[in-house]
Amino acid sequence: MTRITTGNRHPRNLSIDSKGSIHDDATATDLGFRAGTVAGDIHLEQFGQILVDGFGQQWFENGWLSMYFQQATADREPVEAWLDGEGTLRTAGINTPEGAMVAEGNAGIGTAGPSALYARDRRSVDPSQLRMLRDVRVGQALDIQVRSPWAANQHARMNANTMTAPMDWYGTSSPWGGGISSPLTTCQLMVAGVTDSIAESCGDFVGLYGAIEIRHLSGPLMLDHEYVITGEVIDVSETPKTEVLWYRTQARPSIDPEGPAVAELTMMTRLLKGSSPRYS
């Protein structure tokens, strides 16, 4: 079996100053974590080059990456991303130098599958059993957003050497013309703002990403293009310590918002019960 690896990298906690979030040291330790956590989408950005090494530039056109997070890491802690196997469907993961699994899943091209997240039992529950997500329903539409990928933020991370695994294509040119969206920028584009209404109905809570799948359908996402982001709730569930929201979003060019999607993202967010007044 062929393994492609990044070697140890040191992802940064880019939201360490976001007070009251799971990325803030004080909040995270109050909730039982060792320190403020590195966001899952930052970990996904480590995969860009090894996915191209494994699948070619086609991965940014119709490839996907599906990861379930097992363990949180803190700022600059070393981790290694890897891709195993041959062909159009391969296993993937992130490990610490000691061998602990930070994330596990798979990656592929086109219709190869099933993906790690869609093969998983989401353990659905009736929302009426929940406290924070009690008003959320499967099929519920998310808040529509219209925007471009945050090119300035992506370029700033590259220039400041805070991007875990930079690629030249994330700059101003690529095989498709202009610069393309990195996995982290793709998550930001397709997640920010879409669950604001749901979050408001949940009351105060601290959340963290539990699983993410990025899927290019007719990509890549271009930094200089504007997209309409739509989505819906696909499931709710819970664990002893969290309530769990699963949702899916799609990005379409704003010049053709009824046309085919360029990319799709599936997100699982954990709402920590210990952070919510509804569990006090």
Task: Please name each of the domains of the chain with its CATH number.
Answer: 3-110+123-279 (3.10.129.10)
The pLDDT of residue 115 is 98
Predicted structure pTM score:
0.96
The pLDDT of residue 257 is 95
What span, in angstroms and rounded, lies between the C-alpha atoms of 228 and 26? 36
Tally helices (H) and strands (E) across the chain.
7, 10
Q: How far is CA 64 from CA 14, 60, 77, 88, 123, in A?
A: 24, 8, 26, 10, 23
> Mind listing the pLDDT tens digit of every residue in the chain (280 residues)?
689 999 999 999 999 989 999 998 899 899 899 999 999 999 999 999 999 999 999 999 999 999 999 999 999 999 999 999 999 999 999 999 999 999 999 999 999 889 999 999 999 999 999 999 999 999 999 999 999 999 999 999 999 999 999 999 999 999 999 999 999 999 999 999 999 999 999 999 999 999 999 999 999 999 999 999 999 999 999 999 999 999 999 999 999 999 999 999 999 999 999 999 999 8
The pLDDT of residue 240 is 96
Q: Is the dihedral of CA 144, 112, 100, 4 positive or negative?
A: negative
Strands (E), 191-241: 207-216, 227-238
The pLDDT of residue 3 is 95
Q: What share of the chain is helix, strand, coil (3-state, %, to 5)?
A: 20, 30, 45
